Structure 1
Amino acid sequence: MSIFETGLERNAANYAPLTPSDFLERAGSTFPDKVAIIHGELSRTYGDFLSRSRRLADALRNRGIGPGDAVSILAPNTPAMLEAHYGIPMAGAVLNAINTRLDAATIAFIIDHAESKLILVDRELAPLMEQALEQASNRPPVIWIDDPLAEGGKPLGEKEYEDFLAEGEPSPDWPRPPDEWQSMSLNYTSGTTGNPKGVVYHHRGAYVNAMGNAIAFGLTSSCRYLWTLPMFHCNGWTYTWGVTAVGGTHVCLRKVDPAQIFDLIARHGVTHMCGAPIVLTMLIHAPADQKTAFPQTVNIATGGAAPPSAVISAMGKMGFAVTHLYGLTETYGPSTICAWPPEWDELDLEAKAERMARQGVWYPTLEGMKVADPETGAEVPRDGKTIGELCLRGNTIMKGYLKNPKATAEALGDGWFRTGDLAVLHPDGYAEVKDRSKDIIISGGENISSLEIEEVLYKHPKIMEAAVVAKPDDKWGETPCAFVTPAPGAGEIGIEEVTAWCRQHMASFKTPRTVVFGELPKTSTGKIQKFVLRERAKEL
């Protein structure tokens, strides 16, 4: 045994499992009177934020909820949603933040699949949750949140959120995880089938990725972060924890509205925000009377499709500095960044846009990234031409898919997480994604399975065949485009009938925005040639 191992034991003095809930403990102790959360006219300090999160944790424990128990929440970007990101893990339970854009049937599936022990729901979204519970087999207790900025909705469940918090005490003795590998969050992502997959995060990964965000995006105690990114999406890309880690201020936003965004940026001195490319587009094309001027530079990080040069230029003129990130639900959100070397500042706008199109290099908190031959796993040449699969590994990769060992093994089996995205590697080591594998459509930051849409279309009695591909869109990045072959003798079918059918059977944002009728191109073996359809969609 090495001399550096003899007599040097791990104990409570020199080791503690990492958990992002400790970020709030530190911020509440260091900055108890500093504003932590702004929501409309509400201003809440870090001392209050910590106390309320502790109360939530204690109230959950008093009901017997602890390790291995999922607590679901359906809410916009509100103070209660932030408190859930701390209080639920503080109870030892697993946070399940549900996508507010999903349909009732999918939410019912999640509640059943996660075996949720308790549900928190915003009053405005209570009717949607009520529909979901009617379809679910699991019927856990429900607590409704009476957010002051909610519009409409109704109470649902046994009591209101503030009354539930009153059941708990702000005890500092919440149980730290005995192992940082312990599950702490469950996020659902669209897969290649109709049902979503449950991605499981652990305490260590959430802690580490939050620190990676702080480093990569330049977060400090003086930052003011505007919540244009949904907190349900990869737990807000872990910025729910990253902003607190540095003692910054969370500026909440229930819905993306350009007028409100500009107003909040100017009124509260916002310095950082994130969002899908559509957020940038909405800000650029907002009416002139909504574009409130502000003196500070606002750093905005975006994922998905790289912003074109016109977008970069327009955002810059309004006072925004754009950062291009890449990640997936399986990687806790951001995992690579198009790090910007100083010499790129001298490039013209088109060249800058070309560089920004790259997904870049791996986060400082990720162990590694490679672009590999999908068959051999060997890294492709750094020539900017040879296409391979983008692969990642490190502490910020998911534990796996809940109740799905086959999919977990396929994704992680060889010691690398296979993203499914096809990329090239440039000579400087920067990766650039060239195509999406499978047929996932990324629209407005949301993943949409083309197979799920096709399944719905095939159920229509007047449709014989259907294929769905991504169509480039200036506003949404991509939108679903359906190519449909009508069933012979079934009667006429039009675009409105197809879209109405889709809205009836799945979430409205998944509905094809373009529908084309005719025969589908096929190989000699009868397989639909989607690559041909993708080219056609680009011309529509």
Structure 2
Amino acid sequence: MEDHSVSTRSLCAVVGLSGETFLNALRAALSGSGPALLPISDQLPAPAREALLEALRPTSIRTSDGEQLCPGGLPVKAGTALVIPTSGSTGSPKGVELTARSLTTSARLSLARIDSGDRGARGDRRDLGTRRAPWLCALPVDHVSGIQVLVRCLVSETRPVFLDRFSPEAALAEAEAGCARTSLVPTQLRRLTALGRDLSAFRTILLGGSRAPAGLVEEARRLGARVICTYGMTETAGGCVYDGLPLDGVRVTTEADSGRIVLAGPTLFSGYRLDPGRTREVLGPDGYRTSDTGLVGADGRLTVHGRLDDIVISGGKNISPEPVAALLEAHPAVREAAVTGRPDPDWGQCLVAAVVPADPAKPPSEDELRTWVRERLAPWAAPRRITLLPGLPRLHGGKTDMPALTALLDRDRDRARAPDLNLDLDILERTS
């Protein structure tokens, strides 16, 4: 257990720092020689940033222009190194408090699993050099996955190479220059595979942030990349389950009645900033009660089914959107899909889907997709409405932006289908 004494330390919000400057601040936060950090995306509009600062009350704020005190700021417990704002794809913002111990333990367990896989899969002398090679940081450092790339570098005494703006060509060039390891979200990996080039320079790609579309991982592996699918969240200091198997010391169970996934171990967060009530709801003696459902097989491998708060009750049937979205993505004419529930006067709720065609010139029909789902899952799982889009709106960290997507789907409620695939491209670009 962490030693949470009454001693405190200051909390500095950081916005828009260069990669190297943030790395130095992170090093000081982990060692205790500097303040704890509250990383905030520089893409947040000013009103949203001010609301976040007001809710999480840092003692100071640091930008590229300097640092200034925040009136009314409150310190954090001495063991806290980071407070990471998160709201997932839905819900109100939270400040996840992470200790230096949980962050560095997560990094060490991650590296041990990656290195073990390298030896098992390859077993050649190049792997010694790979484990000392730079990491490519292609994710924002206000997101736990980007931060953990840097923590892994700090604990392994390697250096990161920052990719301020992701492009698949630049990422591959860095990998071929020696940055053999990186962490990506599915959108980035899809752009890499679209190059159709040899990806074997990526000795490890940790893939997380959201569910990978059907076939994406297999395609990346076919092109030579070693891809590890991770499951975790900010509350677990990033991914703590790799390819379905928990990292050493991490325990995964599911609740018998609901299937809720419960995670325990040394990488857990210590609480939500200034919100003890919310903390008590999810963090207890058995671990962290996630909002996800799943199943742990006889081999100890976790299969994630979806989110409890995403369950759609339509005509008395409980439907999880995730399997429906995965099945839609398995259709040869679909590149990616997202599914959610919307109010319906007759059924209470109905299932609606956003589909990105594999070929915009030859989009699938609604009837074709409904039949595909009806015949493979269940009649009631077929979406009542299907909207074609040029892409899914994304949050800063790569997850589907469900509020933005819901707005797009609601705009389409009175149309049988979206005839113009460029209809909402401006919204997609603003939210991705």
- What TM-score do the two structures reach when normalised by structure 2? 0.64
Instruction: Give the corresponding residue for 1:316.
Output: 221
| Aligned equivalent of 1:511 | 404
Do the aligned partners of 1:71 and 1:95 also contact (CA within 8 Å) in 2? yes
What is residue 83 of structure 2 aligned with on the other side?
Answer: 186
1:274 paired residue number: 183
- Report the counterpart of residue 372 of structure 1 in structure 2: 255
RMSD of the TM alignment (CA)?
4.2
* Structure-2 change in CA distance of 1:365 and 1:77 (3 Å): farther
**Once the two structures are superposed, what CA deviation does each residue of 1:156-208 show, in whole Å capped at 9, x if it has no partner?**
xxxxxxxxxxxxxxxxxxxxx9x9x7111100111697530111011211121
Pair 1:103 & 2:45 matched: yes
Gaps of 5+ in 1: 1-15, 18-65, 142-176, 339-359, 376-387, 455-464, 476-494, 496-502, 520-540
**Which residue number in structure 1 is paired with residue 277 of structure 2?**
406
User: Match for 1:426: what amino acid?
Assistant: G
Matches of 1:192 and 1:222, distance apart in 2: 35
Question: How far apart are residue 87 of structure 1 and its match?
Answer: 2.5
Q: 1:54 is matched with which residue?
A: none
* Residues 75-114 of structure 1: per-residue CA shift (max 9 Å, x gap): 3772112112113443352111113443332221222223
Quick one: distance in 1 between partners of 2:54 and 2:85? 13
Instruction: Quote how far apart the aligned CAs of 1:140 are.
Output: 9.7
Q: Deviations over 1:300-328 (max 9, x none)?
A: 11014554563234323433111111001
Distance 1:364 1:96, change over 3 A: same
Which residue of 140, 143, 149 corresponds with 1:233? 143
SS in 1 for 2:26: helix
Instruction: Give the aligned length.
Output: 324
Letter of the structure 2 residue corresponding to residue 202 of structure 1? T
Go from structure 1 to structure 2 and tell me whether the alpha carbon gap of 1:75 and 1:216 turns closer, same or farther (over 3 Å shift).
Answer: farther
Residue 9 of structure 2 aligns to a residue whose secondary structure is: coil
After the TM superposition, which residues 241-280 of structure 1 pair with which residues of structure 2 at under 5 Å, given as runs? 241-266=151-176, 268-280=177-189
Which segment drifts farther, 188-197 or 81-90?
Answer: 188-197
C-alpha displacement at 1:115, in angstroms? 2.0
| Match status 1:418 vs 2:289 | yes
Percent of paired sites with the same residue: 21
Task: Report the CA distance shift for 1:435/1:235 in structure 2 as closer, same or farther (over 3 A).
Answer: closer
CA contact (8 A) 1:97 1:235 kept: no
- The amino acid that maps onto 1:98 is I
- Select the structure of larger CA radius of gyration: 1
Task: State the distance in 1 between where 2:107 and 2:350 align.
Answer: 39
In the alignment, the residues of structure 1 paired with residue 101 and residue 257 of structure 2 have an alpha-carbon distance, to the nearest angstrom, of 29
Q: 1:252 to 1:407 in 2, by over 3 A?
A: same
Whole-Å separation in 1 of the counterparts to 2:150 and 2:88: 25
The one-letter amino acid of 2:50's match is A
Contact in 2 for aligned 1:106/1:195 (Cα 8 Å): no
Unmatched segments (≥5 aa) in structure 2: 116-127, 312-320, 326-337, 343-347, 359-386, 388-394, 416-432
8 Å contact from structure 1 (residues 209, 365) kept in 2: no
Conservation of the 8 A alpha-carbon contact between 1:439 and 1:469: no
In structure 1, give the amino acid aligned to 2:172. F
Instruction: State how far apart, in whole Å, the 2-side matches of 1:188 and 1:470 are.
Output: 29
Q: Counterpart of 1:91 in 2: which secondary structure?
A: coil
1:29-108 equivalences in 2 (<5 Å): 67-75=8-16, 78-89=19-30, 90-108=32-50
SS of the equivalent of 2:226 reads: strand
Q: What letter matches 2:143 in structure 1?
A: H
Counterpart of 2:179, as a letter, is V
Aligned residues of 2:292 and 2:307 also touching (Cα < 8 A): yes
The offset of 1:414, in angstroms, is: 4.8
> What SS does the aligned partner of 1:238 have?
helix
Q: For each residue in 1:387-436, what CA deviation from the matched residue of structure 2 results, as whole angstroms up to 9, or x when unmatched?
A: x1111112211111111111111101353211110112222121101112
Correspondence for 1:363 among 247, 257, 271: 247
Question: How far apart in 2 are the matches of 1:212 and 1:422?
Answer: 24
**Matches of 2:64 and 2:169, distance apart in 1:** 23
Instruction: Please name the residue that 2:63 is paired with.
Output: 121
Secondary structure, counterpart of 1:263 in structure 2: helix
